Structure 1
Amino acid sequence: MSSPVLRLTKVERTYVTDSGQLPVLRGVDLELMAGEIVGLIGPSGSGKSSLLHSAGLLERPDGGTVEIGGQNCSDMKDGARTRVRLSQVGFVYQFHHLLPEFSALQNVGMPGMIAGRGEAWSAERATELLTQLGLGERLHHQPGQLSGGEQQRVAIARALTNQPRLLLADEPTGNLDPETAAVVFQALYDLARGQGVAALIATHNLELARFMDRVFTLKDGHLEPWQG
């Protein structure tokens, strides 16, 4: 049997506030397999972003372990964590964070350039992804020349440029109208599934959550299967 792309074991995260300590993750366990699309729901402030940031090595949890591709990343030094993040993890956020002065092709190819894959490889990979997402005619448009849904599809392509094993998405359709959100989610779903990526997607959209393989709700710092 293949091993999980992502394994979280007893992950804990506590923040210090003016009124004392605020635990948001109280021993989270989760495994994601290649090609699996898993949803994460819960109210604002429940810890969804903290869980994604811990899973994606953007934050260090206060306890527990994070394994990506069979590697225990919890005790890695910052440089090693950065290398794992660049090569094995893709991120999509509610806001696209595209560089406005660059074209869609350049924005998507940039992670490949940063990873040292070269201009030709990065441009070819970016063209392939953007075309799959229906943006083959928009390669040389800047973000300001694209609609909100097109911008978010560019952000999805950028997250997958370096052929990551794990995709983490934090409210990727939260800034879009319902019709556009459905289109963008379908594009994300199809591309992640087609690339064999393990995806963890935080969303408030319960209609979209119903299309995922599994859905968990984050409640009182623990993951529970969603009963929707």
Structure 2
Amino acid sequence: MSDPILALRGVERVYKTEAGPLPVLRGVDIDVYPGEVVGLIGPSGSGKSSLLHSAGLLERPDGGLVALEGRDCSRLSERLRTRIRLGTVGFVYQFHHLLPEFTALENVAMPLTIAGRRRKDAEARARELLEGLGLGHRLTHQPAQMSGGEQQRVAIARALANHPKLLLADEPTGNLDPATSAAVFQALYQVCRQQGVAALIATHNMELARYMDRVLALKDGHLVAQTF
């Protein structure tokens, strides 16, 4: 088996509240491998977003190790963490956050041009991703001209634009109807498989969770494997 893209060891996260310290993550361990789609479930407030933010270097854990591609990122400077995050991690959220004045092609190409890629190359990569997600007929459409499911697929393409090794998704289908959720998840699953992207997906949708490679539940700050 190949080495994990994401490895967490003993990750802890504690928030300060008026009532005192609130432990959310109490020593989380997880490995996610290339091309593997792992589901993360748990009730609201259980710490799913905190886990994703720690894994994606958006927050520093209060304890433990966060490694991306075998490199411990826990104690690196913010500058280095940002560089690694931009080059290694893609994020998808419940709301697509597309720029309304730009087309689907422009929204997906933008992270590439910001990273210094030539416009021609950026648009070629954006077109490849959008066509792979079934949106070849929407390249010149703005978000308002697309359905909710199409908008979310554009957001997935944008998250994958810079060839990330790890995709973190926080309720990516939570704002969609069941049929559209299934279609969007299937598109996300296939592109991760095809491109060897490791994915960790937080969801409340138990029907979709059944189709993931593994599902882990966050309970009392610990991850517990789930079987269906």
Structure 1 segments of 4+ aligned residues over 4 angstroms from their partners: none
- In structure 2, what is the Cα distance between the partners aligned to 1:47 and 1:173? 19
Number of residue equivalences: 228
The TM-score, its normalising length taken from structure 1, stands at 0.98
1:113 Cα deviation from its structure 2 partner: 1.2
1:97 Cα deviation from its structure 2 partner: 0.6
**How many percent identity over aligned positions?**
70
1:107-130, Cα deviation, whole Å (9 max, x unpaired) = 101111121122111110000000
1:2 Cα deviation from its structure 2 partner: 2.4
Q: Which residue of 2 aligns with 1:4?
A: 4
- In structure 2, what is the Cα distance between the partners aligned to 1:50 and 1:18? 19
1:227 Cα deviation from its structure 2 partner: 3.1
1:84 Cα deviation from its structure 2 partner: 0.8
Q: Which residue of 2 aligns with 1:170?
A: 170
Unaligned runs of 5+ in 1: none
1:40-62, Cα deviation, whole Å (9 max, x unpaired) = 00000000000000000011100
Q: Which residue of 1 aligns with 2:141?
A: 141
- In structure 2, what is the Cα distance between the partners aligned to 1:29 and 1:198? 16
Confirm or deny that 1:225 pairs with 2:225. yes
Kindly indicate whether the alpha-carbon contact (under 8 Å) linking 1:10 and 1:64 is maintained by their aligned counterparts in 2: yes
Q: What is the SS of the residue equivalent to 1:137? A: helix
Matches within 5 A, 1:182-201: 182-201=182-201
Kindly indicate whether the alpha-carbon contact (under 8 Å) linking 1:87 and 1:115 is maintained by their aligned counterparts in 2: no
- In structure 2, what is the Cα distance between the partners aligned to 1:41 and 1:141? 34
- In structure 2, what is the Cα distance between the partners aligned to 1:101 and 1:60? 34
Instruction: Write the letter of the residue equivalent to 1:210.
Output: R
Confirm or deny that 1:98 pairs with 2:98. yes
Unaligned runs of 5+ in 2: none
1:72 Cα deviation from its structure 2 partner: 0.9
- In structure 2, what is the Cα distance between the partners aligned to 1:3 and 1:182? 30
1:93 Cα deviation from its structure 2 partner: 0.4
Q: What is the SS of the residue equivalent to 1:109? A: helix
- In structure 2, what is the Cα distance between the partners aligned to 1:131 and 1:44? 35
The TM-score, its normalising length taken from structure 2, stands at 0.98
1:18 Cα deviation from its structure 2 partner: 1.7
Q: What is the SS of the residue equivalent to 1:14? A: strand
Q: Which residue of 2 aligns with 1:36?
A: 36
Matches within 5 A, 1:5-154: 5-154=5-154
Alignment root-mean-square deviation, CA:
0.8
Q: What is the SS of the residue equivalent to 1:113? A: helix
1:173 Cα deviation from its structure 2 partner: 0.3
Instruction: Write the letter of the residue equivalent to 2:80.
Output: A
- In structure 2, what is the Cα distance between the partners aligned to 1:72 and 1:133? 33
Instruction: Write the letter of the residue equivalent to 1:100.
Output: P
- In structure 1, what is the Cα distance between the partners aligned to 2:102 and 2:165? 26
